[in-house]
Structure 1
């Protein structure tokens, strides 16, 4: 085999590996919320499974993440800081991987029991509201609304479909609200969002290009980051002193992740055939529309509800552009829009102590036909409890606990050596997942 022929084959193998550049969009563990959303932006809201947050039912500045008009409920100035400890279990069971039938159908060696692929995390959020007067409020929030990490380990049998995935976002939103009259308040803000992604996977170069399965793996590591912007809009309607209805919209944020793709695992004599090079991929976080209701039954007891729609169908495909145009690639995804339904209640034991509870259903964004080991998600069922206690006239602390039940799910992928997935092998795996979330929050009013 001539050196040029070998180089051409290496570059072709790189195309399969480089396709992962765009995958950080879907890479993080999707067991927290549909797709790769992080709902953990308010501990007082978590106590009711986020029921009523669009209508300000949680009673503090953290509601502005869900609806900027809820700042109109704040008297004076307020600072809220939250921290949510997210303990995720996503275990792989009965994983099996073989090469394509046309390559002999042999078993792919490696670890079939990678254990817990998810990574626990602490999700912080911060809020500040300044009252210019009783009607006009200014605010600023800092959040991480999208992300998480999965890691199967370098030697797992599905490594050709993905090894490690990491997406982090940092969102800063200056916000304003104005009370038009006692019944109507409107609000809006500008999202300024930074996204950073890193992903790795292996390519079975030996099987697909040299005719010797398993003799040479090429691992790709891709990174990229970008700043993007969007907006939020909201309205709060108060037909009576005991009833509130909230409407909100959080726009999509478009990113062009720019970074590099690098390759390891090649003999030193061949490493120059795949130099580190620039790569670019478009990523759009979805837009969200929601409606919330808060209803006081008595002066101590309130019930609330929220319905949220997320436009995950924006994620139809992954397009990757690499400095070498021969490595550009496309993968179809075809995600579906999702709905989140929540019901909750709160009860004031006395002027200082408030108890909360809630349940929710969160629809998954991926059907079995499009489920991959990077996105082994499923529908989720939330059960939450929480409490708020006023320590002083100006300081309140809140705590919440949620358990998220996730039905068992599976991945079944078939490799017929066609399309972008060619050469990655057949893969079957079952998943058992669950989540526990413990949140703490401090609220300072002045």
Structure 2
């Protein structure tokens, strides 16, 4: 019985909108181009996407925005364990935000320097199943948020070459609810943990030929091994079992945010049209298992056995009017999750996604950007003889994003 509080922890993680528990870049310009614009950064958001591009800023640049994520999955009883019924997650929005500031200036030696910082939510998961659904003893609720905080800089060492990098701090919070059946006595348990770790970012951006408007960018973010700690709570357990460890107790586990490598390119086809492409690789094979340690001296290891994931992206931006830009993008994400370890805490699969967006310059220096992103997950069926809760999952996700950007070179003109 003492292991029960650890068993509920084994339900983590939950589904995200991209591979593993990675969340797309919700900055509207990036989102509307399906995350393909790493080699075409033009705002303070480069502090996250590609720090080398901060050296292209002239003066002060600030970007802030918020998004709405609608993620839901429908489980179908394809194994006929619950009369063939289908259950859909409870609709509940998540609201990730972005906030970045950067400043760029020219140095006396002809080089350009840019510095930036900010915060966003690059990872997480959001699953809310009905409290009485057949899989409630696997999971009811998972709410995970991975906050990313960045302090980065970029240096243009010659007109066609930029380098950048800096510090990254990831901070994760998790909340889990799971039903428990104590020999016919229905109860539930909750687990809440949090913790963080420091990582780093390295990037570069080059224009191979002066006469060809082609830019190539590379960005690498190192893994962050986070040590999370918190408490487990049983809701109204049977009094007869409280003496067997079915009591509130501390719990800890280690969560690794994976290494990420991104290689992208942008090409100015004509003055009005920019085309972008990108490949993203995520080293999720480090996520082999969840190991949870309880305050009563017991531990539990849960197999995850992720493989590495990757994403192919293509996007474009068109200057339709002097003050209006329209954008679009598509992607194909290859999930790191294996069908053999699939369960309702992680109803994930390979994804096709498309996005649209606009940017409108309200006045010189002030711009509003908006984007819409839709992800079509491949239908996937839990497989394997050891699958604790078989079934088929059909998943969709929508993201709406809105941001305001402001820039000025006033501070430079005063010098």
Q: TM-score under structure 2 normalisation?
A: 0.90
1:125 aligns with 2:98: yes
Tell me, in whole angstroms, the C-alpha distance in 1 between the residues paired with 2:158 and 2:348: 44
Larger radius of gyration, structure 1 or 2?
1
* Map of 1:403 onto structure 2: 374
SS at match of 2:208: strand
Identify which of 263, 274, 278 aligns with 1:306: 278
In structure 2, how many angstroms separate the alpha carbons of the residues matched to 1:438 and 1:323? 41
2:67 counterpart residue number: 84
Question: Which residue in 1 is equivalent to 2:413?
Answer: none
Q: Which runs of 5+ in 1 are unaligned?
A: 1-9, 99-106, 207-214, 416-420
Could you tell me how far apart the structure 2 residues matched to 1:321 and 1:331 are?
12
Map 1:159-308 → 2, pairs under 5 A: 159-206=136-183, 215-240=184-209, 242-273=213-244, 274-308=246-280
How far the C-alpha of 1:61 sits from its partner, in A, is: 2.2
SS of the residue 1:381 aligns to: strand
Equivalent residue runs for 1:14-29 within 5 Å: 15-21=3-9, 23-24=11-12, 26-27=13-14, 29=15
The corresponding residue for 1:431 is 393
| 1:161-204 deviations in Å (ceiling 9; x for gaps) | 22211111222111111111111111112112221111122343
Q: Indicate if the aligned counterparts of 1:315 and 1:335 stay in contact, CA closer than 8 A.
A: yes
CA deviations 1:259-304 (Å, max 9, x no partner) are: 1122234223433432211111011111100111011111111211
CA distance in 2, matches of 1:118, 1:133: 49
Task: Find out whether 1:442 has 2:404 as its counterpart.
Answer: yes
Q: Tell me how far apart the structure 2 counterparts of residues 65 and 321 of structure 1 sit (CA, whole Å).
A: 33
**Structure 1 residue 81 displacement after superposition:** 1.0
The Cα shift of 1:154 comes to: 2.8
Q: Distance in 1 between matches of 2:338 and 2:91?
A: 20
Q: Which deviates further from its counterpart, 59-68 or 339-348?
A: 59-68
Change in Cα spacing, 1:346 to 1:121, as seen in structure 2 (3 Å) is: same
- The CA distance in 2 between the partners of 1:78 and 1:411, in whole Å, is 47
Asked if 1:394 is matched to 2:378, the reply is: no
Structure 2 contact 47–150 (Cα < 8 Å) conserved:
no
How is 1:137-176 mapped onto 2 (pairs within 5 angstroms)? 137-176=114-153
Q: Kindly provide the CA deviation profile for residues 403-422 of structure 1, in whole angstroms up to 9, marking residues without a partner as x.
A: 2112222235656xxxxx8x
Instruction: Identify if the C-alpha distance between structure 1 residues 97 and 257 changes in structure 2 by more than 3 Å, giving closer, same or farther.
Output: farther
Are the equivalent residues in 2 in contact too, given 1:91–1:117 (CA < 8 A)? no
2-structure distance, mates of 1:350, 1:427: 54
Cα shift readout 1:241-266 (whole Å, capped 9, x = no counterpart): 52211000011111111111222342
- The answer for the alignment partner of 2:20 in structure 1 is 35
Q: How many residues align?
A: 401
Q: Distance in 2 between matches of 1:351 and 1:219?
A: 58
Q: Distance in 2 between matches of 1:435 and 1:373?
A: 16
2:412 alignment counterpart: none
Change (3 A) 1:414 1:163: farther
Contact 1:22-1:283 within 8 A present in 2 as well: no
Among 38, 42, 52, the residue aligned to 1:54: 38
Tell me, in whole angstroms, the C-alpha distance in 2 between the residues paired with 1:428 and 1:345: 41
Deviation at 1:323, TM superposition (A): 1.7
Runs (4 or more) in structure 1 with deviation over 4 Å come to 95-98, 412-415
Secondary structure at 2:46 match in 1? helix
The TM-score, its normalising length taken from structure 1, stands at 0.84
Cα deviation, 1:349-393, whole Å, max 9, x if unaligned, reads 233221212111011111211111111101111111212111111
Q: Please give the secondary structure, in 1, of the residue aligned with 2:382.
A: strand
Report 1:326-365 matches (<5 A). Answer: 327-365=298-336
Matches within 5 A, 1:94-133: 94=77, 113-117=86-90, 119-133=92-106
Gaps of 5+ in 2: 409-415
Measure the CA separation in 1 of the matches of 2:385 and 2:135: 12
- Of 6, 30, 36, the residue aligned with 1:45 is 30
Cα deviation, 1:97-123, whole Å, max 9, x if unaligned, reads: 75xxxxxxxx7x9x9544225632222
Which residue matches 2:296? 324
Q: Is the 8 A contact 1:54 1:66 kept in 2?
A: yes
Q: RMSD of the TM alignment (CA)?
A: 2.2
Q: Which moved more, 1:83-92 or 1:370-379?
A: 83-92
